[in-house]
Amino acid sequence: MKQAPFIAVEGPIGAGKTTLASMLSTELHLPMIKEIVEENPFLDKFYQNIDEWSFQLEMFFLCNRYKQLEDTGLQYIEKAQPVISDYHIYKNLIFAERTLKGVKLEKYRQIYHLLTDDMPKPDIIIYIRADLDTLLGRIRKRGRSFEQEMDPAYLEQLIADYDKGIQFLAEQSPAPRILTVNGNEIDFVENQAQFEQIVSDVKELIE
């Protein structure tokens, strides 16, 4: 192994980040950092009224992920131990740029940079791309009640925001290595050979 990798799995809502990160964590014996969802007190309210609750929600996600990233740095990165996460901290800004406006967005941007600019960043990103129909199908199948009335236009915008966001990360220095997974065609849940192909691609990146 070149250096202990810090791997992040990313992609829009329902792409399969947690699923794939858990499978890779088991297969490659990597500890996993998992984002907090069920304990989030604002998600339900947010989906009912995005403009009213976006600032609280984005700040909640930011504070939680900041704490997790701080712990990840201490427990794994500083000890040169590999780790996989089902998100990249940059997703905060991808979402906030979509849900916040005006003064609140400006304040959020400043807080985001203040908190995260000097934090460890993943050096490998697995980006699951999937189109609107695939994501809506997965969200329905997963069945979280607060997501069932999600405006498809919001999800469609996020798909495009993610493409831009990952492109932005690819242009950073040092640039992370990015493995893009076609989430419409690759079924790593049901198809063992397709999962093994991803495992082999990831091993190539880290070994």
Ligand X SMILES: Nc1nc(=O)c2ncn([C@H]3C[C@H](O)[C@@H](CO)O3)c2[nH]1
Footprint on this chain of ligand ATP (rule: CB under 6 A): 11, 13-19, 86, 138, 141-142, 183, 187-189
Judge whether 24 and 86 are in contact, CB under 8 Å.
Answer: no
Q: Between residues 25 and 92, which has the closer beta carbon with respect to ligand X?
A: 92
Give 52 or 187: the residue with its C-beta nearer to ligand ATP: 187
| Closest chain position to ligand ATP (CB) | 16
In sequence order, what are the beta bridge partners of 128? 181
User: Shortest approach of ligand X to residue 169 CB, angstroms?
Assistant: 15
Partner from ligand X, ligand ATP, none binding residue 18, C-beta < 5-8 Å depending on class = ligand ATP
Is 187 a catalytic site residue?
A: no
Dist CA 57 CA 106 (whole Å): 16
The entry of ligand X, ligand ATP, none near residue 130 (CB within 5 to 8 angstroms by kind) is: none
Euclidean distance between the first and the last CA atom of the chain, given in angstroms as a whole number: 4
Whichever of 57 and 198 has its CB closer to ligand X, that residue is 57
Let me know how long the chain is: 207
Least distance between ligand ATP and beta carbon 37 (Å): 6
Cβ within 8 Å of residue 163, ≥6 positions away: 129
* Closer residue to ligand ATP in complex, CB, 19/81: 19
Residue for token digits 């202990």?
4
Residue 198 interacts, among ligand ATP, ligand X, none and using kind-specific CB cut-offs from 5 to 8 Å, with: none
Residues making contact with ligand X (CB under 6 A): 13, 37, 43, 57-58, 61, 91-92, 95, 99, 147
CA 202 to chain centre: 17
Partner that binds at residue 61, options ligand X, ligand ATP, none, CB closer than 5 to 8 Å by kind: ligand X
CB of 113 to ligand X, least distance (A): 15
List helix spans (H) across 84-179. Answer: 91-99, 102-116, 132-142, 152-170
SS3 134: helix
Which CA distances in Å does 12 have to 9, 60, 132?
10, 19, 10
Catalytic residues: 86
